[in-house]
Amino acid sequence: MNPFKNAMKQLDNAAGIMNLDSNTHEVLKYPQRVLEVAIPVSMDNGTTKVFTGYRSQYDDTLGPYKGGIRYHPGVTKDEVKALSFWMMIKCATVNIPMGGGKGGVIVNPKELSEGELERLSRGYVQKLWRNIGSDKDVPAPDVYTTPQIMGWMRDEYERIVGHSDPGVITGKAIKDGGSEGRSYATAQGGVYCTIEIAKKINLTPESTTVAIQGFGNAGSHMARILSGLGYKIVAVSDSRGGIVNMEGLDIDQVSEHKKNTRSVSDFSNAKNISNEEILELGVDILVPAALENVITKENAGQIKAKAIVELANGPTTPDADEILNANGVIVIPDVLANAGGVTVSYFEWDQNVKGEHWSEEVVIEKLEKIMVHAFQGVWTVKEKFNIDMRTAAFVSAIERVTSKGL
């Protein structure tokens, strides 16, 4: 499954609905720039190994390119192109003044020592520094990259250019200019989308059952926040399996159990289930918060949830989308549902370039306003064209980008 081909299908679909000008449509099929670099790294054993890195800069119509850098052995040029396109859509969907970018290095970081990882990270910046900066392109952490790696990259960039530029990188530790609230921002944005869709389908928190596939950073925070608001979390899972209790789970106790055993499985007062089974439970809201492509044409017909809130990136395949739409399942797409992360990354950049530091309360207040407004805007487009929420988000985003002129 080529991710860039999937992305272009989504573009074509939205372009057809909004009668997008054919010339504009053609321009949007291509990233403005894709950089491929060779990064030589001195290994601890005295040899030199050369790693391949990428940075796709899709579109900067709304503002500097924005998007993470991932370290993964499966990174490809088509993957970073697709991810940069989706970042353009995501930023435009929530109407923040950033464009779409994404980067990656073909590497298994678990095989590198800390010193090798630092030399790789600094080497990446040495090859790309002319093309990044707080006014050009603002990277962030992604798969297998961390605030520490971002700190090395920022330090290397500032060493090369000879001046401070804290806004060149987001996802930094708070002591290094990071934003309050960033650690749970993705989950918090998903919570706001959950609250809004619950209202649309006439559910009250106490009457709403939620299953969350993925109990990592985003999923566990979302479970905690929703539970605190009165929603009934009945099932959660991690890479080792899942648990269900239709009467509701005590999320604090589940978190403690996972901390002690490294898995949610075998939690008392709950039944063990598989990651596949959690998707097909009879719940009101399903939250895929782990891997991509978990909802497919093979299992979409068995999904009983009234709504899906995509906290993960790309959890639903295009074929599955069609089945879910036909069955009346409302999907709040990843480009909206998990945009809390990039929104608070934008806040970090904004604070850095202005020399400010906002309190956690201010950050969350600003995030709620943006997420709720974005949800309502996408819902309005959905109703106007009688289309699904994913396509509505793409239409809304593309309208925003093209209204500025490409």
How do beta strands 330-332 and 307-309 pair? parallel
Count of C-beta atoms within a 10 Å radius of residue 126: 16
Residues 70 and 98 in one domain: yes
Residues 292 and 147 in one domain: no
Tens-place pLDDT, residues 395-405: 999 999 998 76
The radius of gyration computed from the CA coordinates of the chain, to the nearest angstrom, equals 21
Token pair belonging to 193: 């989308």
Using a pLDDT cut of 90, give the percent of the chain over it: 91
CA distance 190 to 177: 25
For residue 379, which amino acid is it? W
Token pair belonging to 30: 């291509």
H or E element that contains 233: strand 232-238
CA distance 380 to 337: 16
Domain boundary among 146, 180, 214: 180
CA distance 130 to 138: 12
The residue with tokens 């449509």 is 25
* Residue 283 belongs to domain with CATH number: 3.40.50.720
* Count: domains in the chain: 2
- Domain assignment of residue 222, yes or no: yes
For residue 159, which amino acid is it? R
Residues 168 and 236 in one domain: no
- Domain assignment of residue 231, yes or no: yes
- Domain assignment of residue 292, yes or no: yes
Tens-place pLDDT, residues 136-178: 999 999 888 998 999 999 999 999 999 999 999 999 989 989 9
What's the confidence (pLDDT) of residue 292?
82
What's the confidence (pLDDT) of residue 91?
97
H or E element that contains 61: none
Domain boundary among 162, 180, 198: 180
- Domain assignment of residue 406, yes or no: no
Max Cα-Cα span within the chain: 64
Nearest to 323 by CA among 312, 313, 308, 342: 308
What is the span of the domain harbouring residue 57? 32-180
CA distance 324 to 338: 20
Residues 189 and 157 in one domain: no
**Backbone φ and ψ of 67, nearest 5°:** 165, 155
* Residue 101 belongs to domain with CATH number: 3.40.50.10860
- Domain assignment of residue 18, yes or no: no
Label residue 291 exposed, middle or buried (CB < 10 Å: 0-12, 13-18, 19+). middle
Q: What is the pLDDT along the chain (406 residues), one digit of tens a residue?
A: 788 998 898 999 999 999 999 999 999 999 999 999 999 999 999 999 999 999 999 999 999 999 999 999 999 999 999 999 999 999 999 999 999 999 999 999 999 999 999 999 999 999 999 999 999 999 999 888 998 999 999 999 999 999 999 999 999 989 989 999 999 999 999 999 999 999 999 999 999 999 999 998 899 999 999 999 999 999 999 989 999 999 999 999 999 999 999 999 999 989 999 999 999 999 999 999 988 889 999 999 999 999 999 999 889 988 899 999 999 999 999 999 999 999 999 999 999 999 999 999 999 999 999 999 999 999 999 999 999 999 999 999 999 999 876 6
Residues 170 and 233 in one domain: no
Just list the catalytic residues. 102
Domain boundary among 285, 302, 337: 337
Residues 71 and 138 in one domain: yes
Residues 281 and 169 in one domain: no
What's the confidence (pLDDT) of residue 406?
63
Using a pLDDT cut of 70, give the percent of the chain over it: 99
Residues 142 and 196 in one domain: no
